[in-house]
Amino acid sequence: MTKFRTILAAAITLGTLTASGQAGAVSLAVKMACATDYYAHCSQHDPNSPGVRKCMRAVGKNLSSRCINALVAAGEVPKSVIEKKVASR
């Protein structure tokens, strides 16, 4: 139960993570899908800061497929950007 609460807390605090770098609300699905990525890569930044958005963009290639898929589904990241990155590998 403690791990669930930690992930839920992270999800709630990731409210301003957007791929475009503009402040705005993000869906609960994105928050939940990206919580582990936030803790793994960017937890040194306040979740509501521009620093967390910059960090998540910087580690984009290391984000989990779960997080990336949620960002695409929510329209936060265009699918064409992901396809282009995958094709360039």
Total domains in the chain come to 1
**pLDDT at residue 20, as a whole number:** 43
Average pLDDT over residues 2-6: 51
Question: Span 37-57, mean pLDDT?
Answer: 86
Distance CA 37, CA 18 (A): 14
More confident position, 65 or 19: 65
CA distances from residue 42 to 2, 37, 51 in whole angstroms, order as listed:
21, 8, 9
Q: Which two tokens stand for residue 46?
A: 């306040």
The span from the CA of 14 to the CA of 83, in Å, is 25
Token reading at 56? 């998540």
pLDDT digit string, tens, across residues 5-31? 544 444 444 443 444 444 456 678 888
Rounded CA gap, 82 and 7, in Å?
25
Taking only the tens place, the pLDDT of each residue in 71-84 is: 889 887 888 877 77
Range of the domain at 38: 2-87
CA dihedral 59, 60, 66, 70 (to 10 degrees): 130
